[in-house]
Amino acid sequence: MTVAITLSSVLSALMLTIALLLPSINSRTVPFGVRVPAQHADDPSVAGQTRIYRWRVLASGIVAVVLAGILYGVTGETLLLPLGVLVIVGAWYGCFFLANQEIRAAKAAGGWYEGVRQGIAVDTGLRTDPPRFPWLWLAPAVIIIVATVVIGVIIYPSMPETLAVHYGAKGVPNRLATKSIGTAFSLVFVQVGVTALLAGIAAAICRGRADIDPAHPVASARWYRQYLTLGAKALLGLVAMIDLGMMGSSLLMWTGTVASWAQLVVVIPILFGVLVAVVVMARNNREPDEGEKDTGLTHRDDDKNWKRGLFYVNREDSAMMVPRRFGLGWTINFGNPKSAMLLAGVVAMIGLVITLRFGE
């Protein structure tokens, strides 16, 4: 019980911190997903919506945590604790959409793009000479998978004849299965699938379309190449931590270990990987000012391709992944059929993990 409360508290604090910091981390020219000229980035309406957004997020987060705690105290159902985290995320994006609509209205009413010289800067080298895929960063995940297989093969003869393959909300095994190769190594197959999927996403990131600032194209293109490589490395590092968590889960299953702390073996590596990836990406999410002379151009007003400032839909864009406007990293182009297949793969993999370990 204590473990579940601790994990939910840490996740809630992490989600709230990220939500509160994002307006300061994201580009000044896309406040809450709305493209604005640089001269209007500090408009009073933007500053005002940023303050309102933070108060809304903080208030809704506190309410969600308190309600989850009260319901847990009354029912004793640990599933209500992670539900509180989901409510925080939902409230977070609700606050974002409200701010997005207000800034869109202020932009339209004020004619912020009237008389502005719009332009597009493109790094054609990203197609002909994209950043190299960081293969060395994939090695830890591969090593962990191989180690999991080797350990499993060695201890397979001494494994219990029935293995716990399914856990309820309280972390207690609620389904047993006869020992077999498929049962014992089920999470190894998940390791391989997750690694292949996220490595594919990392490869797509390396070939993703850049959002280069036409006011400072040279410095912006140089920074973005570095950011692409950093993003791919952060994702591959996260893959290794996910595989490590699944390795721990496999060891618990193979040894028949049931303890209140057992879920920490699985969650801590994954949580650590997420935290490190978020910190690394947040620290490098803004272009540095390298003193390049301003060209006098500003980003093209392309809000029409961003639904609610969050979902990118552009059938004319061949890119599978593009930089997020609000948040860290990249998002898929929902107008590209190949991206839809990638999204389906992510959803299927998440569903598989939940079904194997935590579903009813």
Lowest mean pLDDT among 3-12, 65-74, 350-359: 350-359
Lowest mean pLDDT among 3-7, 28-32, 139-143: 3-7
Q: 222 pLDDT exceeds 60?
A: yes
76 φψ region: left (φ > 0), alpha (ψ -120 to 50), beta (else) = left
Q: What is the pTM of this model?
A: 0.81
Mean pLDDT calculated for residue range 257-276? 77
Residue 115 near residue 73 (C-beta atoms within 8 A)? no
Percent above pLDDT 70 for the chain: 83
Mean pLDDT calculated for residue range 193-206? 87
What's the pLDDT at 1?
47
Q: 82 pLDDT exceeds 70?
A: no
pLDDT band for 41, please (50, 70, 90 cuts). Answer: confident
What's the pLDDT at 53?
94
Mean pLDDT calculated for residue range 23-30? 86
- Please give the single-letter amino acid code of residue 303: D
Choose between 331 and 152: higher pLDDT.
152
Q: Which helix (H) or strand (E) holds 8?
A: helix 2-25
pLDDT band for 77, please (50, 70, 90 cuts). Answer: low
Residue 144 near residue 192 (C-beta atoms within 8 A)? no
Q: 72 pLDDT exceeds 70?
A: no
Q: 265 pLDDT exceeds 80?
A: no
Choose between 43 and 204: higher pLDDT.
43
pLDDT band for 7, please (50, 70, 90 cuts). Answer: low
Mean pLDDT calculated for residue range 60-89? 70
What's the pLDDT at 309?
81
Nearest to 320 by CA among 299, 294, 346, 301: 346
Choose between 258 and 275: higher pLDDT.
275
Q: Which helix (H) or strand (E) holds 165?
A: strand 162-167
What's the pLDDT at 17?
84
pLDDT band for 19, please (50, 70, 90 cuts). Answer: confident
Percent above pLDDT 90 for the chain: 22
pLDDT band for 130, please (50, 70, 90 cuts). Answer: confident
What's the pLDDT at 6?
66
Choose between 81 and 317: higher pLDDT.
317
pLDDT in tens, 156-190: 998 888 887 666 555 566 677 788 888 888 889 88
Report which DSSP code applies to 237.
Answer: H
Measured CA to CA in angstroms, residue 217 lies from 42, 115, 190, 292 at distances of 22, 21, 42, 9
Residue 236 near residue 300 (C-beta atoms within 8 A)? no
Q: 32 pLDDT exceeds 80?
A: yes
What's the pLDDT at 89?
81
pLDDT band for 358, please (50, 70, 90 cuts). Answer: very low
- Percent of the chain that is helix, strand, coil (3-state, to 5): 65, 10, 30
Lowest mean pLDDT among 65-79, 85-99, 131-145: 65-79
- Please give the single-letter amino acid code of residue 351: G
What gap in Å lies between CA 278 and CA 230, rounded to an integer? 12
**DSSP letters spanning 81-105:** HHHHHHHHHHHHHHHHHHHHHHHHH
Helices (H) and strands (E) in the chain, counts: 10, 8
Computed over every residue of the chain, the mean pLDDT equals 82
